[in-house]
Structure 1
């Protein structure tokens, strides 16, 4: 039995993982999916990591999973807790010393979003979250997700340099969503190769895959466990 530590993305809450958590628990695993600190403009990566570590307690056999902005926090958690595995899902991949504010420009994501939007008629990066984030999530579920939106991450964290000197010495996988309208799939394929040296595993889903394809995502998370 493993403990899956599920770290949500920006503006989100641990609830975003509830369908995946049910799948994992139903197959005999423990799950920790905390709400990270929000509505605090001074919160830092240390605050986010501390919240996760406190929620994990003394559990062992850890698989740390980070979604979207959770890609900045999950490696820090995996490093501190000496996790067995780190899985990034439709996630940002930080470099040492890189702040979230600089990530889009440094990686070329901003240009990739603009180029993809020009090809798909403005769906990628669209201001309407039902178009850009929740296009394949059942409407009632998407509405519930939006009702839980919070101010996370903080302005302080957005400007904070990512504190590790190198990627943690933890086996790492990347799950790419092939219908993602937040981070274009071709962009993430290239970034995963450049920064992690890995080929992503792919799932036919939009950015909020934990709500749109929870069973399929759980299958991927459990692969090889």
Structure 2
């Protein structure tokens, strides 16, 4: 079973196009909804919901997008996870808070450098359309914005509790056009923290919405 974990905002809806394609290919798949707007819910609570969503599955491929990279690995001691697949995901270090991850990895500087290289003003006001929805079809963008939930700070405040990344085969997929976590940035973090190379795919940060065919194919490889 594919268990697909969303990023900030917690909406499993971002995976709906991929879930449909996995089902069409004959695979069980479920997208997890997380209580992103609950200020009392932290990563452990997210992990509990991921485990509950997996039910009695006897083989789990755990797919985590963006912020989902912090919570998904916390389930590997409770689920029969055969593989972790990260999609434009945060990769934590032991003892690091989600809030510290940004400065520790140099994400802001990487974003700014990428903006300059692309001719965008790195000092312009942050725009969801520029960094998240630039390659997402308009109807999906409109729905996502209309139904989006704020992300609470609870997921960013506590130290990542594992002593090391789980001993589970892991793949790192990076959107070649990701403007928020540029692909070169993701490659550096994956290499430094996991000793892994990234697999580059078409699309930006929300490629589950913008490039579901290519992403689904990659998940099935």
TM-score range, shorter chain: over 0.9
Alpha-carbon distance in 2 for matches of 1:71, 1:102? 15
Deviation at 1:74, TM superposition (A): 1.4
Contiguous gaps of at least 5 residues in structure 2 = none
Please give the root-mean-square deviation of Cα atoms over the aligned residues, in Å. 1.5
Aligned to 2:201: 203
Q: 1:159: which partner in 2?
A: 157
Q: What is the aligned partner in structure 1 of residue 192 from structure 2?
A: 194
Hey, what does 1:109 align to over in structure 2? 107
Query: Partners in 1 of 2:88 and 2:19 — Cα distance?
Result: 17
1:73 to 66, 71, 74: 71
Instruction: Give the drift of 1:190.
Output: 0.8
Per the alignment, do residues 173 and 123 of structure 1 end up closer, same or farther by CA in structure 2, a change over 3 Å counting? farther
- The alpha-carbon deviation at position 146 of structure 1 amounts to 1.4
8 Å contact from structure 1 (residues 123, 181) kept in 2: no
Q: Decide which moves more: 110-119 or 66-75.
A: 110-119
Q: How does 1:135-146 map to 2 (within 5 A)?
A: 135-146=134-145
Q: Secondary structure at the match of 2:22?
A: helix
CA shift for structure 1 position 120: 1.9
Is contact 1:78-1:86 (8 Å) kept? no
Report the CA distance between 1:51 and its aligned residue: 0.9
Partner SS for 1:29: coil
Distance 1:63 1:15, change over 3 A: same
Aligned residues: 220
Residue 34 of structure 1 and its aligned partner are, at CA, apart by 1.7
Contact 1:32 1:55 in 2 (8 A): yes
Check whether the contact 2:132–2:205 (CA below 8 A) recurs between aligned residues.
Answer: yes
For 1:96, the equivalent position in structure 2 comes to 94
Q: Give the equivalent residue in structure 1 for 2:23.
A: 25
The equivalent residue for 1:147 is: 146
What SS class does the counterpart of residue 172 from structure 2 fall into?
A: strand
Per the alignment, residue 132 of structure 2 pairs with 133
TM-score (norm 1): 0.93
Residue aligned with 2:86, SS: strand
